[in-house]
Chain A
Amino acid sequence: MVFSSILFLFFFLPCLALCYFLLPARLRRGRNLVLLGFSLFFYACAGVRALPLILGSILLDYVVGRALEVSRRPRLWLGAGVALHLGLLFWFKYAVFTLSNLNRLGLGLPVPAVVLPIGISFFTFQGMSYLVDVYRHDVPAERSLTGLALYIALFPQLIAGPIVRYKDVAAEISGRHESVEEAAQGLSRFFAGLGKKALLSNAMAQIADAAFTGAPSAALAWLGAAAYAFHIYFDFSGYSDMAIGLGRIFGFHFLENFNYPYLSTSITQFWRRWHISLSGWFRDYLYIPLGGSRRGTARTVFNLFVVWAATGLWHGADWTFLVWGLYFLALLLGEKYLWKSALEKLPAPLRHLYALLFIVLGWVWFRADSLGHALAYFQAMLGLGGRLMEPQVIYLLRQFWPELLLAPFACAPVLPALKRRMGEGTAATLVYRLAALAVGGLSVCRLLSSGFDPFIYFRF
């Protein structure tokens, strides 16, 4: 079940809201149980087969978390907990990739038919962050199994993030406050995210798919790469908007996952604005424990290598993702050690252009089916594919002109600027809410007419 499905919008969400808000707010435990029950049902809709995995993962975190507090050997418990999490993640996500590549060396190892459980990368990382935080005494272990289960399985962020830290929601699990204002804001945010997905992302996906299927001309290759940049942003930030909005309806405040990344003027800045919960996770739970930048240049480069290889592979078990991660490592190292001062001297529009160019090129590695495909695509972009232009470009531009026109504005903080201008008065609130309803209604029209389109980040 996805947020943009009829099943979710018209059945799951109204039923949940009814069951949840019919219970008085003082019955917090009851409301949590409703939320947990619906969250597990939400997860089971993707296949009951994955339910034991997430339940096992919750139990693992609960037992290890409690043990970390009482045991004399917490390091051992932490090591065991993290190893189990990583072991499961490796088996389900990387075993086939690893064995297939080993078999290229002629080993002839049997390759198991493993189905990737939805959201495993997200709930595994949440579980590990919880264990590390408890180990570091940043937070006390959760006493209630229901409370911990709710943290891990809470449906808005369960299958595609953002990666929520326990310390950010611990207080809200036991004592949050739902309100009309928050619910209205949350639902508006949800509709905004739905609009990003249904009205913009899906259209951009069609342009990108046209370019990444077959041998594009130079014009189509550039159009496709730019469209994919829009597609992945609207898809993922739209999902994050929906998750954050749903959280607010039920009294949770998840941290922002995107901060207008395409306004960045450097790659370093881009990674502070893109998928903030993931880059923050790698910083706090991998980069800094490895020593960060405190142990000299060589060690810093090594640490960054580990982080960016892991970042790439987190997105998928494929060489393209690894290269994508290392591509950004190279750019970040360049900005850190080579062209930082030169970049800072450039006018802001040129810095912006520089960042956008390398971000868009980076998405080619990410979207391509293989390294060979990516290289052929780069060739096409350079005009070495044999054709500079083709009729399909004209069709795509004419077909999707409204979305292409709207997309750059939707990547910029236009709405916050409008809100600042209009203020927070009653009239402004009325306009926001009417706009939210209009976007929600249009999105449903478009979803019915165009059919289901899965979110990119579901496969991670």
Chain B
Amino acid sequence: MKRTVNLIFLAAAALALALGGVLTLRWDRAVLFYENRMAASAPAPSREALWSGAYFTDLDDFLSDRFAGRDALIALDTRLDLALGRPVVHGVALGRDAIFPFHGYTAWETGYRAQYAQTMADRLAQVRDQAAAYGGKFYYIGVPEQYSYFHDKYPSYMDDRQWLLSADRAYLAAALAERDIPFVDMAQRFDALGHPDALYSATDHHYTYLGALETYWAVMDAVNADAETPLPVTAREDLTLTDLPNPFLGSHDRMLYGLWPTEEALTIGTLNTPIPFTRRDNGAETAPSLYALPQDEEETVSYAVYMGGDIGETVIQTGRPDLPKCLIWGDSFTNALETVLWTSFDETRSLDFRYYTGKTLSEYIAAYQPDVILCLRDDTTYLDLSAPNGNIS
């Protein structure tokens, strides 16, 4: 009987090991779902790689990424870690009612970043000057990133990086003030509103639709304060807000898609009185829609619903020539804002220099001459001089 148990054990183990190998060889995928990265590609055997051993190291990475059932096993491991109550799971810090990046415990002096702020402000001053030369206005809009907004929700023993972000914010605010560049600091605005949780996502690194709406109203307050004729502003009562019933997975940066328990839903706003518009993405005519909605209620959704995600250039035209033209550039925080910003302008153009390569910003401004120019950055990128949307010229 004992021999039978041992035989069954050996057979089960052999089957699992052999089947794991065979299925892995038949498995083919490019993206690892829970890890938010591309799977390693098959290494090419070369004399040098075999000689040094690099070939088999790369081969193991390749097989590991293609391992049959990898996603299911990683989900199992993640669920186990969640059940054990670990504060960091799969590289994500579990805060109070929200999840964040885990920063470790490395700190450094921030003094050198004052110079970064001067450089960034010099670049922005050139945009301001270029706009002013033909009568346009430039505004810099700063929004907190999710982990910055919810920094008080980090476990008290974890680094929330406020020592860095608050220093960056102060350096940039001072540098912009020295140059008289209008700075719409949404951190202050959100604080004035009582810092409500509803403005930011618990599982995504962006603000929610409500956060984007507040940003829109703050931008329009600043623009209308300078305008001879106030521009129309879409109010809360002009919109119907709908929570999508689809599971919201949160940000790819927070790699716990659907594993961290949350009831969070993605909200979209639709105008009660529609304004006709046309839309072009990267020069091509597209359907006049503001949201990339799912096919059914089962499909998962993400922040990419807003404007269909990150796109190099988007142009929305409303055919209202009495209203001014607007240009906004920045990272993905612009997407949710754009779904309502366009309602105040005749034409709204959005650039994301991570994807747009047609012209430099100054060439684009020179050709288009927008009346209002907006730069929207989150506070983790304020002083990122090398990021495509920060390294402007």
- The interface of chain A, by Cβ under 8 A from chain B, is 1, 5-7, 9-11, 13-14, 17-18, 44-49, 180-181, 183-184, 187-188, 210, 214, 390-392, 394-395, 398-399, 401-402, 424-426, 429-430, 433, 436-437, 440-442, 444-446, 448-449, 451-452
CB of B86 within 8 Å of the partner chain: yes
**Which A residues are in CB contact (< 8 Å) with B156?**
391
Task: For chain B, residues 1 to 57, give those with C-beta under 8 angstroms from any C-beta of chain A.
Answer: 1-3, 5-10, 12-14, 16-18, 20-21, 24, 50-53, 56
Q: Report if A14-B21 is in contact (Cβ < 8 Å); known contacts: A425-B2, A437-B13.
A: yes
B287 CB to nearest chain A CB (Å): 41
Question: Would you call B86 and A187 a contact (CB within 8 A)?
Answer: no
> Which stretch from B62-70, B307-315, B322-330, B366-374 is at the chain A interface?
B62-70
- When the two chains form their complex, are residues A7 and B60 in contact, meaning their CB atoms are under 8 A apart? yes
Contacts of A449 in B (CB 8 A): 73-74, 77-78, 90
A433 partner residues in chain B, CB cutoff 8 A: 5-6, 8-9
Return the chain B residue nearest A450 by Cβ: B77
Interface of A is mostly: helix
> Would A391 and B157 count as touching, CB distance under 8 A?
yes
- For chain B, the count of residues having a C-beta within 8 Å of the partner chain is 49
Chain B residues 68-120 with CB under 8 Å of chain A are 70, 73-74, 76-78, 80, 84-88, 90, 105-106
Contact B17 A14 (CB under 8 A): yes
B17 with A448: CB separation less than 8 A: no
Choose among A6, A18, A392 the residue that contacts B67 (Cβ–Cβ < 8 A): A6
| Contact residues in A for B73 (Cβ distance below 8 Å) | 444-445, 448-449
User: Considering only CB atoms, which chain A residue lies closest to B159 in the complex?
Assistant: A391
Task: Tell me the smallest distance from the CB of A417 to a CB of chain B, in Å.
Answer: 21
Assess whether B64 is in contact with A448, with CB atoms less than 8 Å apart. yes
Q: Which 5 A-B pairs have the closest CB atoms?
A: A47-B53, A184-B6, A433-B9, A391-B157, A10-B21
Given A399-B87, A448-B74 in contact, is the A437-B5 Cβ separation under 8 Å? no
CA of A18 to CA of B60, assembled, Å: 21
Question: What is the predominant secondary structure among interface residues of chain B facing chain A?
Answer: helix
- Nearest chain-B residue to A182 (Cβ)? B6
Q: How far is the CB of A120 from chain B (nearest CB, A)?
A: 14
Known A391-B157, A398-B87, A437-B9; contact A10-B63, beta-carbon cutoff 8 A: yes
Inter-chain CA distance A210–B6, complex, in Å, is 42
Distance, CA A210 to CA B105, complexed state (A): 9
Chain B residue nearest to A5 (CB atoms) is B60
Q: Knowing A46-B53, A395-B157, A448-B70 are in contact, say whether A1-B9 is a contact too (CB < 8 A).
A: no
A-B contact pairs, 21 of them (CB 8 A): A6-B63, A10-B21, A10-B67, A11-B21, A47-B51, A47-B53, A48-B50, A49-B51, A180-B10, A181-B2, A390-B105, A391-B157, A395-B87, A395-B88, A395-B155, A398-B85, A399-B88, A445-B77, A448-B70, A449-B73, A452-B60
Does B158 lie at the interface of the complex (its beta carbon under 8 Å from any beta carbon of A)? yes
Measured between alpha carbons, how far is A211 from B60 in the docked complex, in Å?
Answer: 30
B24 touching A429, Cβ below 8 Å: no
Q: How far is the CB of A395 from chain B (nearest CB, A)?
A: 5
| In the complex, B59 has a CB within 8 A of chain A | yes
With contacts A7-B59, A13-B17, A445-B74 taken as known, whether A47 is within 8 angstroms of B84 at the C-beta atoms is no
What chain B residues lie within 8 Å of A49 (beta carbons)?
51-53
In the complex, A45→B55 CA distance in Å?
8
A45: contacting residue among B10, B56, B105, B157, CB under 8 A? B56
